[in-house]
Amino acid sequence: MTQDQLVEVVKAKASSVPVTFYEAKDFADAMQYAVDVTEKKRHCEMLLPVEGEHYGPASENGFPTLLERFIAAPGLSEEEYAVLEEKAADTDITLLRSGLRDHLGGFDTSITWADGLVADTVTCVVNSNSEEVRLGSMVAEVSIMLVRKGTLLEKVEDANNLLLDLVNRGGASYTAFITGPSRTADIERVGALGVHGPLELHIVLLED
C-alpha cells in the first residue's frame, strides 16, 4: 500500500479502537491542536491529593480536581518545545519537560513522538527509553501521539526492521505498542477506560 492508502486505513479504523485522528497542516498546527484539546477537557483528577494543597471540586469519581492544567512534552526538541510554548503562552496551561515523577498524581495531556504507526490495528510504536517519555505516555489523562506519514506501516509484522533499528541504537530498548486508550475488564468483568493509563488517545499525523 502507498502511504496515502495507509492513512485511509487508519481513518477507517480509528473510531473502533477508539482513537481520535487528526491530520495537522504543520507542526505549529499540531501544537495548537494539543493546546485546544487540553483547554477543552475537564480539569484533571488528582489521584494522590496532598494534605494542605488547594484543589477544585471533586470529579464524578470522587477525586479532587487540579486548579491548573498541565501538558507534558519531554520528548520534544528545543525547537519543537519553543513552538508549543508559543501556542500555550496566552493560556493557563503549565508545560512540563522533566520532573514528571513530581506529578504522578495526575496531569492533563502528554505529547509523544511515535516511531511508527501500524495502520491495520492503529497501533503506535514508541521508543520510550527515556523514563520521562514513559511516564508521560502512561500518567496523562489524554495522550497525543505525533506520527510522521512516512513511518506508517501496514501490519505488525512490518515493524520488524523498526524494532531492529531501535535495539541496535545501543543499550536496552523500552519499546511500547500502544493501541487506543488504557482499558481493562479485570475488575468484576466490567469494561473500564483509563485504569492503567490515558483515558483518551489522539493520533496527530504530520507530513515527513
Domain ranges, ordered by start, for the chain: 3-49+56-206
Tell me the Cα Rg of the chain.
Answer: 17
Q: What is the pTM of this model?
A: 0.91
CATH number among 3.10.450.50, 3.40.190.10, 3.40.50.1860, 3.40.50.10420, domain 3-49+56-206: 3.40.50.10420
110 and 141 Cβ atoms separated by less than 8 Å: no
Q: Measure the CA–CA gap between 76 and 133, rounded to whole angstroms.
A: 10
Residue-by-residue pLDDT tens, the chain, 208 positions: 999 999 999 999 999 999 999 999 999 999 999 999 999 999 999 988 888 899 999 998 899 999 999 999 999 999 999 999 999 999 999 999 999 999 988 899 999 999 999 999 999 999 888 899 999 999 999 999 999 999 999 999 999 999 888 888 766 678 899 998 866 656 666 656 656 679 999 999 999 8
